[in-house]
Amino acid sequence: MTASAPFAPDALLAAFDDRVGGVPTHLSRAPGRVNLIGEHTDYNDLPVFPMALQRDVRIALRPRDDSLVVLHNTAEDFPSVEFEIEPDIPPYVQGAWGNYVKAPASELARRFAIWRGFEGVLQSDVPVASGLSSSSAVVNAVGLALAHINEVGSEPRSFAEVMADAEQYVGTRGGGMDQAISLGARNRHAAKITFSPLRLRHVNVPDDWCFVVADTGKRAEKSKAAMAAYNLRRKECEEALREVAGHVATVNISEKLHTSYPELVAAMDTGTLLEAAEDVLTGNLLRRFRHVVSEAARVEEAVDRMYAADVTGFGALMDASHASLRTDFHVSSSELDEVVAVAREGGAAGARLTGAGFGGCVVALADRWTVGSVLETLVAEYYERRQMVDRIDDRLFVAVPSSGASFQELG
């Protein structure tokens, strides 16, 4: 995870000189991501299909000879962070951005007894609270910096698992998708990610495909209530799994007890598995199970559709994914639904919410001949009507599948 052409933007260098003094010696960067399909499946050990964005978190830094970490943010809304590295670093209040700085420091100290800190300035163009994994990009960029400074290995797959564990510090019981794609992505590729063990299967994104990212303007907050709603979905998925696994083993004595979603999905086709679920589940547990299992099947088919450059087929899977997230997983919102509808009106092959939901962004698929119409329709029918055309380039853009994180020495 190194790069051959170290580059720090002039504004970041100027901010470092102003806030820290002098010049930085290193640059640590980690991209945000957009998940194309496979939502709320990673923490159930089922596959996802994201790609890294061209937008990233960058930290210009200088190592220290003590255990202090001092990190400033170029965005005025985020106060400076300062703490000593130790295995059990006391967190800030829930939702504070500084917890995403403390998280990797605490985990690396616990696992590898790191001690050496740094002083630096963070700059980001990943939209915040938009479902594009800005927080995980912070965790990865800080973690990568601390790993290199303290001579800890950072091979992408194994380090992604460490950073996924680190993010538990903030109180969200997430999966490992965000860390894996941010650290291990390849330029011009998406990646099908499977878990236990973590593996990335890189898939070339067809040259004429365009993934449009549209921010609804409704923030996908990391508040206590939002984390509780997210964690509840995970708990419901776990409970549904136990019920269905027990039922399958009881009905079919020849079947061993399958204790994970991957085992169940591998043992039974989707239709049969959902029929078994309907025998024992009702209400939200049935809805959660149905989404998770059907979404995993959509990921597998989406990979095939991308290999075949079948834009229509891929788009249909995105539409089905959004419908499932809305009706079975209950994580959509009126804003997300409206942006999906407007994107489709503009000619998108398909569209869906991306990220955990409850707000944030929509990802829509178009080809190079229709992407202009999709963008124009979104501006006219959503952003202008809501008087949200200020900073439109931050709210609406075409995602470029980009490479993963890097740590660079600045010359």
Closest CA to 393 of 374, 370, 373, 375: 375
The answer on 394 and 267 residing in a single domain is yes
Q: What is the DSSP letter of 381?
A: I
Say if residue 196 is in the same domain as residue 80.
yes
Q: Quote the number of domains for the chain.
A: 2
Task: Determine the 3-state secondary structure of 85 from DSSP.
Answer: coil
Catalytic residue among 178, 215, 328, 367: 178
Q: 79: domain CATH number?
A: 3.30.230.10
Q: Walk along the chain (411 residues) in steps of 10 and give the mean pLDDT of each run.
A: 52 96 98 98 97 98 98 96 97 93 98 98 94 96 98 94 94 87 98 95 99 93 76 96 89 64 94 96 98 99 99 99 98 98 99 95 98 99 97 96 97 78
Is residue 179 in a domain? yes
Model pTM? 0.94
Same domain, 341 and 269: yes
Catalytic annotation on 18? no
User: Where do runs of H (alpha helix) occur along 73-176?
Assistant: 99-112, 134-149, 156-166
Strand partners, 359: none
pLDDT of residue 223: 64
Query: Domain for residue 231, yes or no?
Result: yes
Domain range for residue 83? 10-205+402-409
* CATH code of the domain in which 286 resides: 3.30.70.890
Looking at the fold, whether 271 and 173 belong to one and the same domain comes out as no
What is the pLDDT, as a whole number, of residue 5? 38
Give the per-residue pLDDT at 3: 36
The span from the first CA to the last CA of the chain, in angstroms, equals 18
Whether the CA torsion 396, 401, 403, 405 is positive or negative: it is positive
Instruction: State the pLDDT at residue 4.
Output: 33
Same domain, 291 and 189: no
pLDDT at position 336, please?
A: 98
In a domain, 20, yes or no: yes
d(CA 204, CA 99): 35
Q: How far apart are CA 251 and CA 249, in angstroms?
A: 6
